[in-house]
Structure 1
Amino acid sequence: MPEPKYRMAIVGTGGIATAHAQALREHNGRALLVAAVDVDPDRVRAFAKTWEVPWVYPNVTELLQDAQVDVVHLCTPPSSHAPLALECLRAGVTVLVEKPPTLSLAELDMLAAASRETGAHLATVLQHRFGAGAVRLREMAAAGHLGRSLLATCATQWYRDDAYFDVPWRGRWETEGGGPTMGHGIHQFDLLLSVLGPWESVAAVAARRARHVETEDVSMALVTFADGTVASVVNSVVSPRQTSVLRFDFEYATIELEHLYGYTDANWTVTAAPGHSVVESRWAASLTETMSGHAGQLAAVFDALDEGVPPPVTLVDTRRTLEFIAALYASAFTGERIQSGQIGPDSPFAQRMNGTGTPWQAVTTR
């Protein structure tokens, strides 16, 4: 059996790192997990033992000085993403970063500049793009099998109690970058954007309804797209019945997805418009039982690296999604409808997602 082509390191060995390690194990013919990094020596040693990782390091600097790695998985808290990714990119190492990739557009643009200078890539983990149903939906839409896109709805209605926010970096602008808009709903509306393409304008509201945090705990947006599609987006961490729902109303069919943290083809439904039953048969022709997840995105990442092209989700794709988040906050906190491209480098909403400030008083203690 040939040696795996790519040598991987995981930085940050908390909960999400397990998903990365499991996904890498599913690709053990293409990649090998050779190093783990964490500031907590007991945690990183336990992680390395569980996943048979040969080398452990206390920080990224020592990793890059000592180990020959091709890709670093950043699984650390959000505020550390930009500085750690910058260090990796300057060392010529490609980065796969968990969401949110950065706390601001300014940080993302800084990383994009570093990527251009060194040739190393940065990709964001937005794994729901790569589930079989999402791939099929984009292919059918691009082929014209669904007709024109007309209307879409997107809802991430989750529940996180007060204890969830006892983790010091959660619920704070300086360390998490935002509330459910930034850290929870991003998976669903990123999938929405991947299907519908460029967005044109956002009119939004955000509120702090129940949680004792600095950030919002709910947000809602009305969005227009370049092709004329109109959509609504809801993000919440105060909803006891949790669900993640996407609905696309095309000319020839309604395509719906309802799940929570991951989906298979069984979570999708297709309702054809009268006279267009062929849509249902086309959809059913390639059904699988594969769960959406990190392994699916890793397959696409390795394919891209094999071809010498930027791995998905690229910096261009990531920026479209992060700009949407910034526009949602800007609209919510200024009362204006925000156009694509309106948030320039000098905008306070390019520097931080709460921009000019929230309408509620910031909570500084708990």
Structure 2
Amino acid sequence: MTDRIAIAGIGAVASMHAESVADIDGAELVAGSCRTEQRGREFADEYGCTWYADTGAMLDAEGVDVLSICTPSGAHLEPALAAAERGVDVLCEKPLEITTDRIDEMVAAADAAGIRLGGIFNQRYNPVVRQLRAAAAAGRFGGLSVANAYVPWWRDDDYYDGAWQGTQDLDGGGALMNQSIHGVDAIQWIASAAGAGGDADGNPVEEVFAYTDRRAHGDDIMEVEDSAVAVLRYRDGTLGQILGATSMYPGSLKRLQVAGRDGTAEIMEDELVTWQFREEREEDSEVRAEFGETESGGGAADPMSIDYANHRRNIEDFLDARRSGEPYMLDAGEARKAVEIIEAIYESAERGEPVRVDS
């Protein structure tokens, strides 16, 4: 049985979805929708599918099983509602939406229609990130002291010129909501595995204090932040830091850092630069050898340099879950957590005081 998949929104990330679907057995890309005819027809020609100017018309005509939403972030709600009305499962790019209120509207519609609503956070499918999380879950850090995420990236003015990125209405924020949200999700996922969140179903972050600003791009270039720093307190007392920027020329590799009384691990892009524990295990040398170097520049300066392998793993996991009826790791409740943290960071920066993360 083949899953018929359609894509709403034909921008850069849609190509990653299309390439991923082409690599997955039992999946077929049948259609894509966008308002721009030239772009739509070029996409359809490249990937052997049909272009539609309207997502609802596409869903009505094609009888798809899954709608993959790749529209601008603040335009995820509407195609999700259209899919729910037609009983079509939804896999949505990060973030699910730019506010938790809009996410909750998506969730309510999906629940009422009895469809699956899942998110994309492809770093959860990065083998080195999974290695770090497994160590956290096994208690190798002896309880966390700190859990940090850094995304010190750069974007030229041209990246924002005339684009939806950097706008309040469609991006919902800047360096945090768009680029750094992957780091936010990954670090809270890792910390949660280590027990930092208490209740596994809730958000592991309890409180944030933050500053945000535009430091490298003018008001005429973008409406939201290009630089953000935040201090976190997790629910078990673990402390953390988040740096999210598109203002740090020429851009450097993203980092995740986790440490406790009994060990420290640090990832730089796809490289495990630190993997040291009080109690050395036989397999630790093998882990260092396997993840000891990276050939990827990630998205430090060029968003198009990001490899789609983790996207493929993410999409395939969603399709496997819907076929088997098993839970999907990034269901709506789980994918909501990063947006919840970022909302609190934005509120803290605006108010100039600590903000609790509701969970």
Are 1:303 and 2:300 counterparts?
A: no
Q: Which residue of 2 aligns with 1:248?
A: 258
What is the percentage of aligned positions where both structures have the same residue?
Answer: 29
Q: Which residue of 1 aligns with 2:36?
A: 40
Q: Deviations over 1:203-231 (max 9, x none)?
A: 11111212122211111100011232111
Could you tell me the TM-score, scaled by structure 2's length?
Answer: 0.86
Are 1:315 and 2:312 counterparts?
A: no
Equivalent positions of 1:253-272 (< 5 A) are 253-259=263-269, 263=270, 267-272=271-276
Say whether the 8 Å CA contact 2:33–2:54 is kept in structure 1. Answer: yes
Q: Which residue of 1 aligns with 2:4?
A: 7
Q: What displacement does 1:194 show?
A: 0.9
CA distance in 1, matches of 2:100, 2:80: 15
Q: Which residue of 2 aligns with 1:211?
A: 217
Q: Which residue of 1 aligns with 2:349?
A: 332
Q: Unaligned 5+ residue runs, structure 1? A: 343-366
Q: Which residue of 2 aligns with 1:283?
A: 287
Q: What displacement does 1:285 show?
A: 9.0
Change in CA separation of 1:294 and 1:24 when aligned onto 2, cut-off 3 Å: same
CA distance in 2, matches of 1:245, 1:136: 15
Q: Which residue of 2 aligns with 1:161?
A: 156
Q: Deviations over 1:94-118 (max 9, x none)?
A: 1111222212111001111111111
Q: Give every structure 1 segment of 4 or more consecutive aligned residues whose post-TM-superposition deviation is greater than 4 Å.
A: 284-292
CA distance in 1, matches of 2:274, 2:142: 14
Say whether the 8 Å CA contact 1:128–1:292 is kept in structure 2. Answer: no
Q: Which segment drifts farther, 166-175 or 69-78?
A: 166-175
CA distance in 1, matches of 2:313, 2:261: 29
Q: Which residue of 2 aligns with 1:59?
A: 54
Change in CA separation of 1:79 and 1:291 when aligned onto 2, cut-off 3 Å: closer
Say whether the 8 Å CA contact 1:270–1:280 is kept in structure 2. Answer: no
CA distance in 1, matches of 2:289, 2:268: 20
Q: Which residue of 2 aligns with 1:79?
A: 74
CA distance in 1, matches of 2:316, 2:34: 26
CA distance in 2, matches of 1:251, 1:195: 16
Could you tell me the TM-score, scaled by structure 1's length?
Answer: 0.84
Say whether the 8 Å CA contact 2:264–2:276 is kept in structure 1. Answer: yes
The 3-state SS of whatever aligns with 2:31 is: strand
Q: What displacement does 1:286 show?
A: 7.4
Amino acid at match of 1:316: G
Amino acid at match of 1:205: Y
Q: How large is the Cα RMSD of the aligned pairs? A: 2.2
Q: Deviations over 1:327-358 (max 9, x none)?
A: 0001110012111218xxxxxxxxxxxxxxxx
CA distance in 2, matches of 1:315, 1:128: 17
Q: What displacement does 1:138 show?
A: 2.0
Q: What displacement does 1:272 show?
A: 1.5
Q: What displacement does 1:120 show?
A: 1.0
CA distance in 2, matches of 1:335, 1:8: 45
Q: Which residue of 1 aligns with 2:135?
A: 140
Q: Unaligned 5+ residue runs, structure 2? A: 193-203, 295-306
Q: What displacement does 1:302 show?
A: 1.9
Amino acid at match of 2:21: L
Aligned residues: 331
Say whether the 8 Å CA contact 1:128–1:293 is kept in structure 2. Answer: yes
Change in CA separation of 1:159 and 1:287 when aligned onto 2, cut-off 3 Å: closer
Change in CA separation of 1:273 and 1:138 when aligned onto 2, cut-off 3 Å: closer
Q: Which residue of 2 aligns with 1:348?
A: none
